[in-house]
Chain A
Amino acid sequence: MTMNVLLFLVSCVLTNNYIFSKFLGCCPFLGVSSKVSTAASMGLAVTFVMTIASLFAYMVNAWVLVPLHLEFMQTIAFILVIASLVQFVEMFLKKSMPAIYSALGIYLPLITTNCAVLGVATLNVNNAYGMLQSVLNGTFSALGFLLAIVLMAGVRERLETSKIPECMKGFPISLISAGLMAIAFLGFSGMV
């Protein structure tokens, strides 16, 4: 059991990394990765939301959509779930844990539109994961996202001070770095 969970962790974080092999969540990956500290906050916020979103999306799917034969409405239903959930979590944190609320700041509402969150909900259904497996998949995939965005921020901080041809400065070199990192992560395929 423990072994299986560990393998699942490695598979989600390295082999099937959401950003580098599934290309989900590229918007925050490129948008919020200019500093390691903000990238880490974003990654933690995503981890938090993806874990809860997987759970709730599973519940809505298994207990509402499937019994009513409305599986074709999954995408819309999941968007609804995620948006409401993020809103709810934001209110809850503001009241109960102001420290976490101010640390996550603007990133929490931004996650509503992160396709990785919707992606994890949809993929859980497609792979016919159970509840526990869905939640684990959400957490582990988000950890993969965290790893990717923090690595990317580290690379971009280095790029700030290195000599780059004028035409490559800024976004082009970031995209190239992201591509090279994706190729590097491809090396993990076949491990699990």
Chain B
Amino acid sequence: MSTILFAVIMLGAIGVIFGLVLTFASKKFHVDVDERVEKVRACVAGANCGACGFPGCDGFAAAVVEGKAPVNGCKPAGADGAAKIAAIMGQEVSDEERMVARVLCQGMKGVAKERYVYDGYKSCATAAGIAGGPKDCRFACIGLGDCMDHCAFGAISMKDGIASIDEDKCAACGACVEHCPRGAIKLLPISQSVIVRCRNSDIARVARAVCSDACIGCKRCMKECQYEAITVENGFARIDPAKCTRCGACAAVCPCNAITNANPVPVEPVMQ
């Protein structure tokens, strides 16, 4: 009995000694970690997507506190996140519109002509290298989901053979833009509701032959636009989001449905 008691007391004593040493050490070796790092870390999206250019969300949070990264550097956190981080850092955040990724292709099944039936490894990059890809159009979305695989936010799904982006979930990190072998995804301001959904730079006849919704570069939209927001270069139209008023007049005259207007209620054109 006394042996047990003795053992318990001695072990307890050793434990207490170690405990005291550790308590002393924790005071002595205390490191002041800037508490703002933790707070900023809590505000970012936390997907470690790397869109900010820093090694992960922790690296970004540390860089923000050191003043090396802008408070709105985390695109996925969006304007809300930037505002919170700015509040922690005591800075003003510049107003920047939220961007979203958009697929500049409407080449669904039945719209874009198929060259062959692809039954290989499920990757756009692989398919694109085989006889110019499974679709006749060399600019078309291949629809095998390389962008979906690289989306850290689950915002991309495949519908009717092309990528479809859930704009509520999209954090504009740009991973899909980077991994699309066709360059068919672009980051655009979320308010940009009028979009040219085609990047085919071939001449009209060739473009029309491969896809019924191809932009043929006819310039009717350019002539219709009162704000000089549209330019046609290399055989397809582009809209300058800074000049565009989202009136949708171009979408109405497009003979190929290549321009879509997500906000189809006609806005009265305002003469400037």
Q: Which of A64, A87, A95 contacts B14 (CB 8 A)?
A: A64
Q: Which of A77, A88, A96 contacts B11 (CB 8 A)?
A: A77
B11 close to A91 (CB less than 8 A): no
A91 close to B25 (CB less than 8 A): yes
A95 close to B31 (CB less than 8 A): yes
> Which chain A residues lie closer than 8 Å to B28 at the CB level?
95
> Which chain B residues lie closer than 8 Å to A99 at the CB level?
none
| Any A CB within 8 A of the CB of B22 | yes
A87 close to B11 (CB less than 8 A): no
Alpha-carbon separation in the docked complex, A84 to B24 (Å): 12
| Any B CB within 8 A of the CB of A76 | yes
| Any B CB within 8 A of the CB of A70 | yes
Which positions 49-85 of chain A face chain B at CB distance < 8 Å?
60, 64, 68, 70, 72-73, 76-77, 80-81, 84
If the complex has contacts A60-B14, A70-B7, A70-B10, are A84 and B22 also in contact, measured as CB distance less than 8 A? yes
A88 close to B7 (CB less than 8 A): no
B21 close to A84 (CB less than 8 A): yes
Alpha-carbon separation in the docked complex, A159 to B153 (Å): 30
| Any A CB within 8 A of the CB of B46 | no
Alpha-carbon separation in the docked complex, A188 to B7 (Å): 42
Alpha-carbon separation in the docked complex, A77 to B29 (Å): 25
| Any A CB within 8 A of the CB of B26 | yes
Q: Report the minimum CB–CB distance from B63 to chain A (whole Å).
A: 15
Chain A residue at minimal CB-CB distance from B19:
A84
Alpha-carbon separation in the docked complex, A84 to B15 (Å): 9
Chain B residue at minimal CB-CB distance from A68:
B10
- Number of B residues with CB within 8 Å of any CB on chain A: 16
B1-15 interface mask toward A, CB cutoff 8 Å, 1 = contact, 0 = none? 000001100110011
Majority DSSP secondary structure for residues of A touching B: helix
| Any B CB within 8 A of the CB of A94 | yes
Alpha-carbon separation in the docked complex, A80 to B225 (Å): 78
| Any B CB within 8 A of the CB of A129 | no
Q: Which of B11, B25, B26 contacts A73 (CB 8 A)?
A: B11
If the complex has contacts A77-B11, A80-B11, A80-B15, are A95 and B29 also in contact, measured as CB distance less than 8 A? yes
| Any B CB within 8 A of the CB of A23 | no
Alpha-carbon separation in the docked complex, A121 to B14 (Å): 17
Q: Report the minimum CB–CB distance from B219 to chain A (whole Å).
A: 51
A91 close to B29 (CB less than 8 A): yes
B22 close to A87 (CB less than 8 A): yes
| Any A CB within 8 A of the CB of B18 | yes
Chain B residue at minimal CB-CB distance from A92:
B29
Q: Report the minimum CB–CB distance from A146 to chain B (whole Å).
A: 26
> Which chain A residues lie closer than 8 Å to B10 at the CB level?
64, 68, 70, 73
Q: Report the minimum CB–CB distance from A66 to chain B (whole Å).
A: 12
B29 close to A94 (CB less than 8 A): yes
Alpha-carbon separation in the docked complex, A76 to B10 (Å): 12
Alpha-carbon separation in the docked complex, A16 to B27 (Å): 41
Q: Which of A64, A70, A72, A94 contacts B31 (CB 8 A)?
A: A94
> Which chain B residues lie closer than 8 Å to A96 at the CB level?
29
A80 close to B18 (CB less than 8 A): yes
> Which chain A residues lie closer than 8 Å to B31 at the CB level?
94-95, 98
A88 close to B14 (CB less than 8 A): no
Which residues of B are at the interface with A, using a C-beta cutoff of 8 A? 6-7, 10-11, 14-15, 18-19, 21-22, 25-26, 28-31
Given A68-B6, A73-B7, A73-B10; 4 other pairs, CB 8 A cutoff:
A64-B14, A73-B11, A95-B29, A98-B31
> Which 8 residue pairs across A and B have the least CB separation, nearest first?
A95-B29, A84-B18, A91-B29, A91-B25, A94-B31, A88-B25, A73-B7, A95-B31
